[in-house]
Each structure stands twice: as C-alpha cells, then as structure tokens.
Amino acid sequence: MSITELRPTGRTRPPAKAASKEAAEAEALRAKTEATKAAADIANQLKAAKAAAEIAAGEAKAQEIRAEAADQQREAARLRAEAQAARDKAERSAAQWRTYAKTIAVICVVVSLPLQLMAFWSPHAPFLLAAPLVLEGLAWALLKGAEAAIDDHRPSWHYRALAGAVALFAATVNYLHGSATFGLGTGLGGAFCSLAGPLVWDLHEHGRIRKRDGKVSRRQRRAEAKQVAAEAAEKKAAAEREAEERAAVEQLRSVQWPQVWERAVALAAAVGELHPSEPTWKRAWDDTQGAALGDTAESIAARVAAKAAVKDAANDRTNTVERVEKPQVESQLARPAKTAAAKRPDGRRSNGGTPPVRRTGDTIGYSPVARRAMSHAARNRQPAAS
C-alpha cells in the first residue's frame, strides 16, 4: 500500500499563503490602522478646536456680563453720589436759609425797635418803654411756639396768626409815629421792618411744615392731575370698547340664535343681570339645545352621518385604497387558543407602560404547515453546508 492510499480522506489542509501576500495584507492592515489613527487624531483636533471656540465664546460672554455688571455698579454709584450731593445741597440751602432769615429778623428788630421806643416814650410814664419790648418779644415768642408745635406735630396756625397780629400792631405804631416825627419814608421803613422780620421767619416755618407733611409743589400737582386724567380717559375708552364689543356679541347671538337669546334674557332677569353673562348664556344653551355649547341636534346628526359614511367607505371591498390587508406573518401563526393566558388583558395602559410578565402559553406558536416548511428548509440546508 502506497503513502497516497494511506492518506485519510476528507478535508485537506489549505495551501499556505505566499509570503508576499501576507506582507501585502500586513501592510494594508498597518495602513488602515494608521488611517484610523489619523482620522481619530483629526476628530480629536476638531473636538478640541470646537471646545476651545466654545470656551472662548463662554469667556467672552462672561467678560461681557462682568463689564455690564461693572457698568451697572458704576451707574448705581453715580446715582447714589448724585442723590447724596442733592441731599447735601438741600441741607446746606436749608441751613443758609435759616441763617439769612435770622439775620434779616435781627436787622428788622434793630430798625423797628428804636422807633417803637421813641413812640412810647413819655416823661410822665417812663415805664411805657417796656411796651416795645413786650410787642417784639411777644411776636418772637409766638413764632417760637409755632416752631415747637411744628416739631411736635401739633397745629401751629394760631401761633402764627397771633404773631402776625402783634407784628401788624407794631408796624402801625411805627408808621404813625415815624410819619409824624421823621416823615413818610421813616414811617414806611419802620412799618416794613416790623412786618418783614416775623414774615420772613414765618415763611421759613411754612416751608418746614410742607416738608414735614410731604406736600408737593404746584408743578408736581399739575403733573399728577394730568396723569390721573390720562388714566381716567384710558379707562373710559377701554370701558367703551368693551361695551361696544358686548353689544356686537349680543346682537350676533340674538340674530343667530333667537330662541337661546330669549331664554338667556329671561335667566339674566331672574338672576339680576343687566346683560346675559357667559354662564347664563351656557345655561340657556343647555336648556334650549340640550347639548354642549355650540352643538345642536342637527350638527350632531350631521357629524354622526359623516362618521358613518367614512366607516362605510373604509369597509367597502371595491375601495382598494382604504382596504387594509393582513400582514403575511399572521398567516404563519396558529389560531390563538381560548385559554386564560390569551384572554388576560394587557396591563400596560394602567402601569405606566411596563410590559407584562411572560408565562407559558403566552406566545402563539407557528401553524403545523409553517413548522413542516421550516423543517424541510433546514434539512435542505445541511447537505449544502457540508
């Protein structure tokens, strides 16, 4: 027996590959690896560039936000500085106004008091020299009482009125005595000084009262009055538009649905409404039509007829467009058995979409014809594979 005869039959060892072919495959694999690595490097570079661009955009946005915040802080600081400067200026003005008022009052006393002393001087009654001091002192004492009342948030008008009356009496004395003794100019000057001092101080106290009570100026009152008038006019125009729209809706409803409108008017009168409201209209519609708002017996019948016509068209055998064929896979499955598993309802509608637990008998098996066809196909594939 030869060696050829002793060689076992069956599969033989495939011939070895040539060295050149193996080298070519290795080179192709290396080239593919390098290409993949290069593509990955390029993708990484693109990602890095995109990330750098996003980081730069984020930094620019953050810088813009910081700059805007800094601008807002500077603007707020500027407004605070302006408000503080305005308050400081107001305080300085008030202090200067108080100083000037006191200075003018002292000067007026220096001018008017000697004239009053000469007017009340008499060799037979020297004690009358105290009368001018009483007049001037009484006037300024009353003004001081008014200042105390203002600080204590009490009425001050009666103090100011009495101080004005005393100043007017002193001015009359100075005018009569000065005109008779020194001439008209001296009399007028003395009377003016008797009135000017208390009057200037009273103006100062009047300003303090308005500031305490928070009263606004005449210009602000006019601006507020204009704003109130504009708001009233706008409200009036809005009310007129609403009334016109309501009248248009009522006219349309009375024309389109007279029976419902009559019922709505009757219900509105019963509940004390001048115009039928929306709940009253809905109730009137339900009373007369017996359906939801906007639906009538005719519209419901037309909708039902339309749905029936669509259903008939879908079930028409001659309508090849609407007819739906069963899928081919259903012809390979057996008829579902009438078991408890087949009749068990699917609980995914009430459990949030979780599929049910699979049990024996849940899956429908293939029909006998399909099983025989699959077995025959499997037997035919085995010899071909061997």
Q: Please write the tens of the pLDDT for every residue from 34-58.
A: 888 888 888 888 888 888 888 888 8
DSSP secondary structure letters along 189-251: HHHHHHHHHHHHHHHHHHHHHHHHHTPPPHHHHHHHHHHHHHHHHHHHHHHHHHHHHHHHHHH
Domain boundary among 316, 334, 351: 316
| Tens digit of each residue's pLDDT (9 = 90 or more) over 219-259 | 777 888 888 888 888 999 999 998 888 888 888 888 888 89
Residue 82 lies in a domain: no
Could you tell me if 235 and 297 lie in one domain? no
Residue type at 231?
Answer: E
Chain centroid offset of residue 261 CA: 40
Residue 340 lies in a domain: no
Could you tell me if 116 and 198 lie in one domain? yes
**b/e per residue 337-354 (b: at least 16 CB within 10 A):** eeeeeeeeeeeeeeeeee
Domain limits for position 170:
109-215
Could you tell me if 211 and 221 lie in one domain? no
- The pLDDT score that the predictor gives to residue 336 is 56
Could you tell me if 223 and 160 lie in one domain? no
Q: Answer yes or no: are the C-beta atoms of 197 and 109 closer than 8 Å.
A: yes
- Give the integer Cα–Cα distance in Å for 249 and 196: 71
Written as six digits, the tokens of 40 are 């990955």
Give the CA dihedral 290, 293, 294, 295, nearest 10 degrees: -30
Domain total of the chain: 3
Residue 25 lies in a domain: no
- The pLDDT score that the predictor gives to residue 4 is 45
- The pLDDT score that the predictor gives to residue 110 is 80
Written as six digits, the tokens of 247 are 């009248």
Could you tell me if 175 and 220 lie in one domain? no
Could you tell me if 162 and 203 lie in one domain? yes
Residue 96 lies in a domain: no
Domain boundary among 298, 316, 334: 316
**Which pTM was predicted?**
0.36
Asked if residue 114 has pLDDT above 60, the reply is: yes
Written as six digits, the tokens of 175 are 């005018």
Could you tell me if 191 and 118 lie in one domain? yes
Q: What is the mean pLDDT of the chain?
A: 77
Kindly give, in sequence order, each residue whose CB lies less than 8 Å from that of residue 3, ignoring residues fewer than 6 positions away.
Answer: none
| Tens digit of each residue's pLDDT (9 = 90 or more) over 272-329 | 888 888 898 998 898 888 888 888 888 888 888 888 888 888 776 655 544 444 445 4
Written as six digits, the tokens of 214 are 């928070």
Residue 40 lies in a domain: no
Could you tell me if 231 and 288 lie in one domain? no
- Give the integer Cα–Cα distance in Å for 303 and 309: 10
Residue 179 lies in a domain: yes
Residue 370: helix, strand or coil by DSSP? helix
| Tens digit of each residue's pLDDT (9 = 90 or more) over 318-338 | 555 444 444 454 555 555 555
| Percentage of the chain exceeding pLDDT 90 | 1
Residue 21 lies in a domain: no
Residue type at 279?
Answer: P
Q: Answer yes or no: are the C-beta atoms of 195 and 168 closer than 8 Å.
A: yes
Residue 91 lies in a domain: no
Could you tell me if 209 and 220 lie in one domain? no
- Backbone torsion region of residue 206, taken as left when φ is above 0, otherwise alpha when ψ lies between -120 and 50, otherwise beta: alpha
- Give the integer Cα–Cα distance in Å for 136 and 113: 8
Could you tell me if 236 and 301 lie in one domain? no
Could you tell me if 125 and 202 lie in one domain? yes
Domain boundary among 194, 215, 236: 215
- Give the integer Cα–Cα distance in Å for 146 and 160: 6
